Amino acid sequence: MNLNQITAPSLDLNLSIPFYEKMGLNLIVKALPHYARFECPDGDSTFSLHQVSQLPKGEGITIYFECEDLDRYVEKLKRRGIVFEQEPTDQAWLWREAKLKDLDGNQLILYYAGENRLNPPWRIDNDKV
């Protein structure tokens, strides 16, 4: 099994599409007003937006985009006008993360984890479980 797509809610795709294009995603499906799909610049995964009449209540969703050269990529996005809530910061779980919200308030985290994404020091040995 392989996770290949995440869909996030959006109130207005006409506003959200340019935001995600500015983030570096490539628009591949534009079925306005209800749906848009992007391909990520690296790998085979896709990301889509689905129009909703009301955003979810509470915490909502958090979407992680992995960036090989996180600090450089964040600086590039800031030059494009993207505003971050948190600059790239080393985390206790051995990832480096920068945080921002999209226009609908969805939490986006750009991160780099390297080997620690799949193999943190505390990884469970499934052969013993």
Q: Hey, what CATH topology would domain 5-117 get?
A: 2,3-Dihydroxybiphenyl 1,2-Dioxygenase; domain 1 (3.10.180)
pLDDT tens digit sequence for 4-25? 899 999 999 999 999 999 999 9
Residue 129 has pLDDT above 60, yes or no: no
Long-range CB pairs of 109-113, under 8 A, 24+ apart, other chains included? 109/62, 109/63, 109/64, 109/65, 110/64, 110/65, 110/66, 110/67, 110/70, 110/73, 110/74, 110/77, 111/64, 111/65, 111/66, 111/67, 111/70, 112/66, 112/67, 112/68, 112/69, 112/70, 113/66
pLDDT tens digit sequence for 29-43? 999 999 999 999 998
Q: Where do the domains of the chain lie?
A: 5-117
- Predicted confidence at residue 62, as pLDDT, reads 94
pTM given for the model: 0.91
Q: Which band of pLDDT confidence, cut at 50, 70 and 90, is reported for residue 64? A: very high
- Predicted confidence at residue 128, as pLDDT, reads 63
